[in-house]
Each structure stands twice: as structure tokens, then as C-alpha cells.
Structure 1
Amino acid sequence: MRVKVRIYCKQCGEKFVLRGRREMDRIETGFKRCLCDNADEFIIEEEAL
């Protein structure tokens, strides 16, 4: 299932809007880390397309 994902970085406040796939309990977007090099602390919101 395709989903729209909003990712907010808790460290610098940067926002990203991506499309991804929901697979079981996981969402795959290809996103690895923020521009500030944060790889762990995010707020993730998902919306069905």
C-alpha cells in the first residue's frame, strides 16, 4: 500500500514529505538521516494515498 509520510526532525526542526510503501509493520521510504546528521529522533506521520 502506498502512503504519504511526513518526517519531522526533533533536533533541527527540518520537515520532509515523502512517498513510501507500507510493508507489514514497517514503512519504507528510503529515508536514512536528516541534514543535521540525526538518524534516530524523528516524529513520523503517515497518510494513505
Structure 2
Amino acid sequence: MPNYRVKVTIRCQSCGEKYILKGRREKGRVDTGFKKCLCNNDSNFEVQYENEL
């Protein structure tokens, strides 16, 4: 499977902050570089992926 970019929407379940990032799909994983929310939450997120053309 070739590497390609995807649109990633991340919503923090603690404070509701929403992040829209571009990620790269590699080996079945998507990497955006996102580590944690502004509220210091680093594990409780809702994540959605969309393919980019």
C-alpha cells in the first residue's frame, strides 16, 4: 500500500477542543505528530480519518 495523506479530525473528549490535521498513512497507521490537547489530555480523543485526493 503506498503512503498517502489523509485528513484527520481529532476532538478532545475532556474539553471539546477540535483539531484538523493532515497525516500520512504508513504501514496501516496514520501519523500526524499530534501528542496532546491544550488541556494536557493525552489519551481521551475521538479520531476520524478522511482520504485526501
Which segments of structure 1 move beyond 3 Å, counting only runs of 4 or more? Answer: none
Q: Which residue of 1 aligns with 2:20?
A: 17
Give 5+ residue unaligned stretches, structure 1: none
TM-score (norm 1): 0.95
**RMSD of aligned alpha carbons:** 0.6
Identity of aligned residues (%): 53
Per the normalisation by structure 2, the TM-score is: 0.88
The AA in structure 1 aligned to 2:9 is R
- Displacement of 1:25: 2.4
Gaps of 5+ in 2: none
